[in-house]
Amino acid sequence: MAKEQHHIDFDEYIRQGEPAQREAAYAWSTAIGLQAVDGLTTSEYLNDLARRNIEGELTMDQVDTLLDSYYESKASREAHDDDKNEADKASRNIKKILSVKTVDFTANGFISLHRRIFEGVFKHAGQLRDYDITKKEWVLEGDTVNYLNWEDLRRALDYDIKQEREFSYKGLAQDDLITHIASFVSGLWQIHAFGEGNTRTTAVFTIQYLRSIGFDVENDLFAKHSWYFRNALVRANYKNAVKGIDYSPIYLQRFFRNLLLGERWDLRNRYLHIHPTEEWSVQPNLANQSGTGQVPEQVPEQVPEQVHDLFHTNNPLVIELIKVLGHEKLSISQLMEKTGLKHRPNFIEYHLSPAISEGFVCLLYPDTPRHPRQKYLLTAKGVMLYKVIIG
């Protein structure tokens, strides 16, 4: 069985630490949490380095040296080394960036930020993509946002950032302020300037920009809700007239209302699905739910009694896989490790393929089955059965 990953209690440092510890904990928490937008998790080694840095035992220069040496000196490659290398080094780089309060609010600054985040990770760090892209999205039932064509990337970046730089927030009402910020961030992300790492770059650029114009954004929203942030960007940029679906920036606006106004919208991803089930059709503001019967924050969601009949399978191997997968995103190697199985073809034939064909499991990158960071996760149907299984 795989070892359980060690997690740092960033909240404790942020609440009770010295000022330097609070600042470092915020930066590390955000940097590590943002890796979830691409299904990545950091290594235990990086987490320990982060803890030691927060506590003042290591400087960032020492973290750099130790982390680089760790990957250079590994005698043998293990499964998921590439994923961990990306998550660790991107987190380290983001932490250093967030420790500096200044921002180069230009198109060049945005491109440079991508290079700084992914230096030593991607060969194309800091390079605009030179091809068009589509990405199948779970919240869109496999459809894609229409991203900007590659020939217009630089022109669009220049225009959007110039327009925002010239915009005045003076006298703007709170609702208008949130609407404007969400629109700017949404448009910047929709450009999708890079082959990989767009959401992480957009998030860090947004944090830097908001801090530069006076907002206090040093809380855990980007750390704990980075996947919601990405899905909210997807919904803000998706329109399908045939399906009767219009652009839906409201979910991104609610993220920023929590971030900047201290509101308490329930930031769970199932509210963002284009066809949510009835129980997920209305996203609640938890600050207004006292005595209403709504599910409060941090309380497990209730499963209707009829779910067992609707989401049932007689295949015990599929059930075993669903239990192992849970709420994680795992590669085939990780799934085999957790189930204790060694023979890859048998695992795919008898566990994974049936789970996919029955609609319980899907691919993180469905349009690129051989994606180097391919992982598997439960569908909405799979999640419902998982909740029935675990009681």
Q: How is the chain split into domains, by residue range?
A: 1-100, 126-299, 307-389
Burial 192-221 (b: 16+ CB within 10 A, else e): bbbbbbbbbbbbbbbbbbbbeeeeebbbeb
Q: How confident is the model at residue 123 (pLDDT cuts 50, 70, 90)?
A: very high
* CA dihedral (334, 337, 342, 347) positive or negative: negative
Condensed to tens digits (0 to 9), the pLDDT of residues 208-238 reads: 999 999 998 887 899 999 999 999 999 999 9
Q: How confident is the model over 187-193, as a mean pLDDT? A: 98
Q: What's the chain look like in SS3?
A: CCCCCCCCCHHHHHHHCCHHHHHHHHHHHHHHHHHHHHCCCCCHHHHHHHHHHHCCCCCHHHHHHHHHHHHHCCCCCCCCHHHHHHHHHHHHHHHHHHCCCCCCCCHHHHHHHHHHHHCCCCCCCCCCCCCCCCCCCHHHCCCCCCCCCHHHHHHHHHHHHHHHHCCCCCCCCHHHHHHHHHHHHHHHHHHCCCCCCHHHHHHHHHHHHHHHCCCCCCCCHHHHCHHHHHHHHHHHCCCECCCCECCCCHHHHHHHHHHHHCCCECCCHHHHCCCCCHHHCCCCEHHHCCCCCCCCCCCCCCCCCCHHHHCCCCCHHHHHHHHHHCCCCECHHHHHHHHCCCCHHHHHHHHHHHHHHCCCEEECCCCCCCCCCCCEEECHHHHHHHHHHCC
Note the pLDDT of residue 12.
79
Is the CB of residue 286 less than 8 Å from the CB of residue 299?
Answer: no
Note the pLDDT of residue 76.
59
Note the pLDDT of residue 74.
74
Mean pLDDT across the chain: 87
Least confident of 115-129, 130-144, 356-370: 356-370
Number of other CB atoms surrounding residue 315 within 10 Å:
15
Condensed to tens digits (0 to 9), the pLDDT of residues 230-283 reads: 999 999 999 999 999 999 999 999 999 999 999 999 999 999 999 999 989 999
Note the pLDDT of residue 293.
42
Q: How confident is the model at residue 38 (pLDDT cuts 50, 70, 90)?
A: confident
Domain 126-299 architecture: Orthogonal Bundle (1.10)
Condensed to tens digits (0 to 9), the pLDDT of residues 285-337 reads: 998 765 444 444 433 333 333 333 445 677 888 888 999 998 889 999 999 99
Model confidence, pTM: 0.75
Between 149 and 75, name the one with better pLDDT: 149
Q: How confident is the model over 367-371, as a mean pLDDT? A: 81
Q: Is the pLDDT of residue 383 over 50?
A: yes
Between 196 and 350, name the one with better pLDDT: 196
Structure tokens at 279: 């129980």
Q: How confident is the model over 125-153, as a mean pLDDT? A: 94
Between 385 and 186, name the one with better pLDDT: 186
Q: How confident is the model over 140-152, as a mean pLDDT? A: 94
Note the pLDDT of residue 53.
96
- CB-based contacts of 215, cutoff 8 Å, min separation 6: 260
Q: How confident is the model at residue 357 (pLDDT cuts 50, 70, 90)?
A: confident
CATH number for the domain formed by residue range(s) 307-389: 1.10.10.10
What distance in Å separates the CA atoms of residue 34 and residue 27, rounded to the nearest whole number? 11
* CA dihedral (354, 357, 358, 364) positive or negative: positive
What distance in Å separates the CA atoms of residue 29 and residue 6, rounded to the nearest whole number? 14
Note the pLDDT of residue 261.
93
Q: Is the pLDDT of residue 1 over 90?
A: no
Condensed to tens digits (0 to 9), the pLDDT of residues 45-66 reads: 999 999 999 999 999 999 999 9
Note the pLDDT of residue 208.
95
